[in-house]
Amino acid sequence: MMHGGAAGSGAMDPLSMCKLKTAADPRDEMLTDEPLKMNVGLDQDLLMPQLVLDWMKEQQFAEAHDGWHLVRKWDQSCRKSNATASSCTAAQRLASQGLSRAAVQQGAPGDGLAFMMMHRHMIHMLNMTFPKHTKLFTGFGKVPKTQTDPENPTPWRAISWTSSNTKGFDTLENIEQHLDQFATEDDLGQYIENTYRWTEQNPMSPVNLTGSGLHGALHSQWAVSGSPANLIQQAVDVRNFTFWKLHGWIDSVWERYRKAKGLTNDDPKYQQLMLEQCMEMFTLQPRNRPTSGGTTSPGTGAAGSGATAPETGVFATMVRPILDNTCGGCHSPIAPSAGMTLGGMGISSAEIRTGLVGIKATNGEYDLIAPGSPEKSWVYLKASGDVATITCTSNCDRETMPPSGVGLTAAQLTTLKQWIMNGATDK
């Protein structure tokens, strides 16, 4: 399924393009296996080598990858299954980028396999383009569990996993002993990608499977706030060196599953699915979308009526910066996870606050922010880790946010809590 419309006038036909074997890029001869180390405030992050970044920019790799996920988050962004753009601001923002709703939404049957296929397609393209440097796109042998783990790509940063994360790693790194847990490849992909499932009634119905959703946890673990390749900012994360370590690991788990199941890569159905992913990624390049003009990334362009003048008030000056840095990547104005915008470019603090205060969470029992009551505010409970106190009876996802890595500090939680206790006003 393609979601960007036909390629523009004079563009290569995607079917023809995807049948060609990509030749090695001449830059492969000049490339090294060393990532770029970039200072980000008091922290550091690792980016892919500049020659790879140059190639990705030429191929609009980041924008296509971003678009692929965005069209599948259409319904959760609108908090309604089978949502239309006319009834949802987030969907209107996607439509303005030349994107349209994917028939298979994230968490729906078929999405798990497509998720693994799309990322394998990207790895395959990079390996063909830079055949002498496939090490750059090779995943972890095993996911680093501690800061001193020799596979930790950023040994200057601490590593922290939840007990659910650890259970998931044990399951996937011993996949041959857990085949009965995943009847199909789609089941495996769903387990890796999601903590919820799409249904006709609810686009984010929690499944509460221990260890599921490791994809998000892996991204969060190595995310560096303010990085030009922040792993929780979907529009730029492919630029990150660790992105390929974690997705290469996912790909290797999937390949071991296929081998244990007796599946082969020359199977016609497998070949067809790979072709479809290539074609979709091609049509999702901004230059091939029907209305985008090829210049604006859906994750970084204008989105809404965000104010340009300096904002004042406690929320804008003290609370929003915390949410921007920690939550704004996944909960941005463009396809916000769970339909909840907590930060990001192109949206005013007033708009963010209006979408939170007194608004029901997806479980329908808690408010996102309940003025005066942090203990009844879904955002605070999830950020603070006080999930044991959650008492909702349906659609009750008790996963702490972010799902791994560095969350809000004690001081930041105090600021958020005090703002809520003071009435969650804009003053």
Q: Are 422 and 319 in contact (CB under 8 A)?
A: no
In whole angstroms, what is the distance from residue 266 CA to residue 7 CA? 29
Cβ atoms 71, 85 nearer than 8 A: no
How far is residue 55's CA from residue 60's CA, in Å, rounded to a whole number?
9
User: In 3-state terms, what secondary structure has residue 197?
Assistant: strand
Q: Evaluate if residue 4 carries a pLDDT over 50.
A: no
Asked if pLDDT for residue 302 goes beyond 60, the answer is: no
Size (the chain), residues: 427
State yes or no: pLDDT of 71 exceeds 50: yes
Widest pairwise Cα distance in the chain = 62
pLDDT score, position 99: 95
65 has pLDDT over 70: yes
pLDDT per residue as tens digits for the range 337-389:
777 777 777 778 888 887 788 778 777 678 888 888 888 888 888 788 766 67
Task: Give the highest mean pLDDT range of 4-8, 17-21, 49-53, 275-279.
Answer: 49-53
Lowest mean pLDDT among 293-297, 321-325, 364-368: 293-297
CA dist list (Å): 353 to 32, 227, 412, 419, 427 = 46, 25, 17, 12, 11
Asked whether 408 and 415 are in contact (CB, 8 A), the reply is no
Which tens digit of pLDDT belongs to each residue from 110-166?
999 999 999 999 999 999 999 999 999 999 999 999 999 999 999 999 999 999 999
The whole-number pLDDT of residue 306 equals 41
Q: State mean pLDDT over 249-269.
A: 96
Residue 406 has pLDDT above 70, yes or no: no
Residue 50, SS3 per DSSP: helix
User: Phi then psi for 84, rounded to 5 degrees?
Assistant: -105, 155
Give 219-248 pLDDT, tens digit per residue.
Answer: 999 999 889 999 999 999 999 999 999 999
Q: Which of 102-116, 162-176, 186-200, 379-393 has the lowest mean pLDDT?
A: 379-393
Cα(106)–Cα(99) distance, integer angstroms:
16
Reply yes or no on whether the pLDDT at 6 is more than 70.
no
Q: What is the DSSP string of 292-342?
A: STT---TTTS--S----SPP-SHIIIIIHHHHHHHHTTTSSSSS-GGG---
Please, what is the angle between helix 185-193 and helix 241-260, to 10°?
150
For helices 410-421 and 320-327, angle between their N-to-C axes, nearest 10 degrees = 130
H helices within 176-240, ranges in order?
Answer: 185-193, 214-221
Q: State pTM to two decimals.
A: 0.83
Q: Are 414 and 212 in contact (CB under 8 A)?
A: no
DSSP string, 5-48: -SPPTTPPPHHHHHHSPPPPPGGGGT--SPPEEEEETTEEEEE-
Task: State what percent of residues in the chain have pLDDT above 70.
Answer: 86
Q: Are 419 and 412 in contact (CB under 8 A)?
A: no
377 DSSP β-pair partners? 367
Domain ranges of the chain: 41-288, 314-421
For position 404, what pLDDT does the model report? 65
Token pair 């971003």 is found at 66
Residue 160 or 300, more confident: 160
Place 297 in a pLDDT band, splitting at 50, 70 and 90: very low
* d(C-alpha 332, C-alpha 426), whole Å: 20
